[in-house]
Structure 1
Amino acid sequence: MTKDANPARRADDDSDDGRGAPVGRRVVLGMLAAGAAGVAAAPFLQRAYDDTLGAAARNDPTGLTGLLPAGGGFRYYSVTGSVPPKDDRTYRLTIDGLVRNRTSYRLADLRALPQTRLVRDVQCVTGWRVPHTPFEGVRLATLLDAADVRPQAKAVRFTCFDGSYSESLTLEQARRSDVLVALRMQDKPLTHAHGGPVRLYAAPMYFYKSAKWLSGITLTDSVHPGYWEERGYDIDAWVGRSNGRDDASTT
């Protein structure tokens, strides 16, 4: 998929950099770091970034006071200016690449498959965390089995209908029981703002791995770095140990 020509325009998909620096600051400083002028400007930009949070935000250990929507703990991110929504009529998820059975799923097809419910803490590398968050959907491994993955496949690339974002997992990671093609979050259908109607949910990894607006799953012979990984983020974005309750069920 095409890259965003202006990566500083918006923050990333539900996350920031894999080393804990806020995305907006890191992207701006990264763009300037190539030259001496950028190095000289870095302290000023750091102060300007911090000042945008205001006094209340600086007293909030998450640094997000005033930036979160009322009644929720998630920040909304996109790497494009706008994303046209999809619905039951227009949504399709395609599985292709190194598979024997290329497949296209409608929402009704995905809903008809066995559903797995996971309850985990959602962790963003900016520092914010939403505890005990239920996600529900189809295990990615189920879709890979149905596609009949070819022996030479080693990784999975995910593309999105925003036209820009992408992510990747190794095939071993993709087959984990806690990696879902999610249709529901917090026991409600995924909204468009949360990446609906379908998003990836990689429970043991930082949230930027859980690509929103999922539209394509392609089996590849090697890992293709995702949108932010091409810009310096960690490819293996393990949170560490599993956070929150390990409450999983399949229906």
Structure 2
Amino acid sequence: MNPETSQERGTPVGRRVFLGTLALGAVGVAAGPHLQRGVEAFLGGAAELDPSGLTGLLPNGGGFRYYTVTSSVPHKDEHTYRLTVDGLVDRPGSYTLADLRAMPQTRLVRDVQCVTGWRVPGTPFEGVSLSHLLDAAGVHPSAGAVHFTCFDGAYTESLTLEQARRADVLVALRMQDKDIGHAHGGPVRLYVAPMYFYKSAKWLSGITVTEEVRPGYWEKRGYDVDAWVGRSNGRDDEPTA
């Protein structure tokens, strides 16, 4: 293993720690704006000293907060970013940011729903339809799923091939009408509009076509593989689409 990659990867965190951290933010949201502002001030300071990145996961007055499951994530830009498409395809490829920006772009405006309960209404995402990249690669008849890897070195996700070909699944380059920043999973992230937000993998680096679904990072820790909003994980939220 490349030692630099090993250092960048950091240490993944467990679901219990993840949910326990969320409880603090939930208290602030439920108790009202004054306490919430106090929680946010605390989290802002704690984030400076938090190697796990979990303090960034909590919802705030601006809508939602971001997080990472590792202690650090390398930064990528237009010079260093590459997205690979491989696996059960006829034409494996590697795409730069310029390549992706030159492709037809799709814009979606949907609510973002976290499995922990918070929602951000009417969030715009723009990017390349995942089905466009799959068609360009030439998917083999034996394929049944798509596996996603991320350049944080730890996070993974999967969709069935049918799910991946939906019109509301994007390889997203823009979010909230601006380029996706590093903290939100940029420069490129997955966006799966009708599913809970953990399916929308950040820091996307690889798309591998496989025979079967491979459970992702959080699914190995107890979350549902099929993560439809309102129809999974024991939740009854309103659909986002």
The answer to whether residue 54 in structure 2 is matched with residue 82 in structure 1 is no
The two structures have a TM-score, normalised by structure 1, of 0.75
Instruction: Quote the Cα distance in structure 2 between the aligned partners of 1:184 and 1:70.
Output: 21
What is the alpha-carbon distance in structure 1 between the residues aligned to residue 227 and residue 79 of structure 2? 34
Q: Distance in 2 between matches of 1:6 and 1:112?
A: 35
Residue 119 of structure 2 is matched in structure 1 by 129
Q: Name whichever structure is richer in helix by fraction.
A: 2
- 2:13 corresponds to which residue? 7
Structure 1 residue 23, shift from structure 2 partner: 3.5
CA drift of 1:56 comes to 4.1
Separation (CA, whole Å) in 1 of partners of 2:100 and 2:78? 11
The answer to whether residue 63 in structure 2 is matched with residue 73 in structure 1 is yes
Q: Distance in 1 between matches of 2:64 and 2:157?
A: 20
Structure 1 position 72, deviation (Å): 2.3
Mapped to 2, the partners of 1:95 and 1:176 lie a distance apart of 18
Is the CA contact (8 Å cut-off) linking 1:121 and 1:130 kept in structure 2?
yes
2:233 alignment counterpart: none
Deviation at 1:73, TM superposition (A): 1.2
Distance 1:6 1:109, change over 3 A: closer
Q: 1:82 to 1:101 in 2, by over 3 A?
A: same
| Contact persistence 2:144–2:161 (CA under 8 A) | yes
Across the two proteins, how many residue pairs are aligned to each other?
Answer: 209
Query: Taking structure 1 as reference, are residues 233 and 150 closer, same or farther at Cα in structure 2, changes over 3 Å only?
Result: same
Q: Does the aligned pair in 2 maintain the 1:22–1:126 contact within 8 Å?
A: no
Q: Aligned partner of 1:203: which letter?
A: A
- The separation in 1 between residues aligned to 2:142 and 2:65, in whole angstroms, is 38
Which of 221, 228, 238 lines up with 2:228 in the alignment? 238
* Unaligned 5+ runs, structure 1: 9-16, 27-48, 247-251
Structure 1 CA distance for aligned equivalents of residues 228 and 36 of structure 2: 23
Which amino acid letter does the alignment assign opposite residue 187 of structure 1?
Answer: D
Question: Which residues in structure 2 correspond to 1:74-113 (within 5 Å)?
Answer: 74-113=64-103
Separation in structure 2 between the aligned mates of residue 99 and residue 54 of structure 1, nearest angstrom:
44
Question: Kindly tell me: are residues 149 and 69 of structure 1, through their superposed partners in 2, closer, same or farther at Cα, counting changes over 3 Å?
Answer: same
2:96 corresponds to which letter in structure 1? Answer: R
CA contact (8 A) 1:199 1:210 kept: yes
Distance 2:170 2:200 in 1: 9
Q: In structure 1, how many angstroms separate the alpha carbons of the residues matched to 2:125 and 2:106?
A: 8
- For 1:224, the equivalent position in structure 2 comes to 214
Q: Deviations over 1:218-243 (max 9, x none)?
A: 00000000001011110000014643
Unaligned runs of 5+ in 2: 41-57, 231-237
Q: CA-to-partner distance for each residue in 1:89-116, whole Å, 9 max, x for gaps?
A: 0000000000000000000000000000
Structure 1's 22 and 129: CA in aligned 2 closer, same or farther, altered over 3 A? farther
Rg bigger for which structure? 1
Asked whether the 8 Å contact 1:157–1:224 carries over to 2, the reply is: yes
Match of 1:207 in 2: 197
Match of 2:55 in 1: none
SS in 2 for 1:193: helix
Please name the residue that 2:145 is paired with: 155
2:169 matched residue in structure 1: 179
Partner Cα distance (2:187, 2:61) in 1: 21
In the alignment, the residues of structure 2 paired with residue 168 and residue 206 of structure 1 have an alpha-carbon distance, to the nearest angstrom, of 13
Mapped to 1, the partners of 2:186 and 2:12 lie a distance apart of: 24
Measured against aligned partners, the alpha-carbon deviations of 1:43-87 in whole angstroms (never above 9, x if no partner) come to: xxxxxx85x4596444159x9763458762112111100101100
Q: Percent identity of the aligned residues?
A: 67
Which amino acid counterpart does residue 170 of structure 1 have in structure 2?
T
Report the 3-state secondary structure (helix = DSSP H, G, I; strand = E; otherwise coil) of the residue aligned with 2:139.
coil
Tell me: CA distance 1:114–1:227, structure 2 relative to 1, closer, same or farther (3 Å): same
1:25 paired with 2:15, answer no
Q: Which has the higher contact order (CA 8 A, sep 6+)?
A: 1
